[in-house]
Structure 1
Amino acid sequence: MAKIATVIHDLFEDSEFTSPKAALEAAGHEVVTIGLEAGSEVVGKKGEAKVIIDHGINEAKPEDYDALLIPGGNSPDKLRANDQMLDFTRHFSNAEKPIFSICHAPQLLVNADVLRGKDITSVKQVAVDVKNAGANFIDQAVVIDPSGLISSRTPDDLPEFNQAIVAALK
């Protein structure tokens, strides 16, 4: 089964991590957390989910993973300031490995400069950013780009998002 890297930082949207993680694990996949520092704890913005980071970005090797999950919330905005995180993200785009992006997650993809010409959705307030990055913004529950980028808007779309990301790994 697939090994999924999840890039995550404090104030992630709780359900945008816990729900896809549960769906992926139920399908037999391994979900690994990548953050700024291995062993550190990050907390969701609602305080419902706490995550211990498996690997720091300085030790994580993107070639060890089959797909990338980016939960939303404030986490992507914090991560996009880190050059190693941007390089890690670019690997998945350049290799056309699946990237699973929800809500505010495209902020990381904007800074990695990997959206040009791709179809994507996001939470409404990030739509201008993805358009300015050269992406084709589509306002629907799930958007699947031929490159392997699968995106969704908000926690309300999690059932459709989870179904799409699990199907992409079959």
Structure 2
Amino acid sequence: MKTIAVILTDMFQDVEYQLPVVAFRKAGHTIVHVGLVAGSMVKGEYGTPIHIDKAVRAVTAEDFDALFIPGGYSPDKLRIDPDAVRFVRDFFTKEKPVFAICHAAQLLITADVLKGRRVAAWMSLVQDIKNAGAEYVDKEVVVDGNLVSSRKPADIPAFIHEALAKLS
């Protein structure tokens, strides 16, 4: 089974985190919460508490098989941290699976990994995605190489299906 890094900080979108993580664990995969400070607690927009296992500055893509980025306000907060940006970029350099939903595209834009890609994300990011050199696709899930992306919570079942397919 695979080890999946989940990068997040305060104000992640609870259901965009919860449902994929439950599915990943049910399939036998290991989840490691990566954040800004190891040992800290972060909370989702609706109060879901998450214990951060590892600090992003202390890990690399080599430590994991895949990366999951939940949406909410968390990606926007993470994109100002150089270590978080490096960590995300490293998964693309190594062509490891990356699962990004909703506002997760903000972190991908800052990591400068979207040029020439097809991406689904929250509608308010359409112009940002185009400016990053990618094609916005208004579908429940888009698979482009190592990247699986979706727009919103309603897309989670299709997102989970494609993410699990990448892990098999």
| TM class, shorter-length | over 0.9
Q: Give 1:25-104 correspondences, 5 Å limit.
A: 25-47=25-47, 49-104=48-103
Give the Cα–Cα distance (whole angstroms) in 2 for the partners of residues 60 and 52 of structure 1. Answer: 16
Does residue 1:4 correspond to 2:13, yes or no? Answer: no
State the one-letter code of the partner of 2:29: H
Residue identity over aligned pairs, in percent, reads 46
Structure-2-length-normalised TM-score: 0.98
Give the Cα–Cα distance (whole angstroms) in 2 for the partners of residues 14 and 109 of structure 1. Answer: 20
RMSD: 0.7
Does residue 1:22 correspond to 2:22, yes or no? Answer: yes
Report the counterpart of residue 144 of structure 1 in structure 2. Answer: 143
Give the Cα–Cα distance (whole angstroms) in 1 for the partners of residues 73 and 94 of structure 2. Answer: 26
Where structure 1 has 5 or more consecutive residues not aligned to the other structure, the ranges are none
1:87 match: secondary structure:
helix
Give the Cα–Cα distance (whole angstroms) in 2 for the partners of residues 98 and 57 of structure 1. Answer: 18
Report the counterpart of residue 162 of structure 1 in structure 2. Answer: 160
Does residue 1:153 correspond to 2:134, yes or no? Answer: no
Give the Cα–Cα distance (whole angstroms) in 2 for the partners of residues 50 and 127 of structure 1. Answer: 30
CA contact (8 A) 2:61 2:94 kept: no
Give the Cα–Cα distance (whole angstroms) in 1 for the partners of residues 149 and 105 of structure 2. Answer: 9
Give the Cα–Cα distance (whole angstroms) in 1 for the partners of residues 167 and 32 of structure 2. Answer: 16
Per-residue deviation, residues 130-156 of structure 1 (Å, max 9, x unmatched): 11100111000000002x100000011
The structural deviation recorded for 1:78 is 0.2
State the one-letter code of the partner of 1:50: P
Higher helix share: 2
How many residues align? The count is: 168
Per-residue deviation, residues 51-79 of structure 1 (Å, max 9, x unmatched): 00000112122211011000000000000
Structure-1-length-normalised TM-score: 0.97
Report the counterpart of residue 116 of structure 1 in structure 2. Answer: 115
CA contact (8 A) 2:71 2:103 kept: yes
State the one-letter code of the partner of 1:83: P
CA contact (8 A) 2:60 2:90 kept: no
Give the Cα–Cα distance (whole angstroms) in 1 for the partners of residues 101 and 25 of structure 2. Answer: 18
Where structure 2 has 5 or more consecutive residues not aligned to the other structure, the ranges are none
Q: List structure 1 segments (4+ residues) > 6 angstroms apart after TM superposition.
A: none
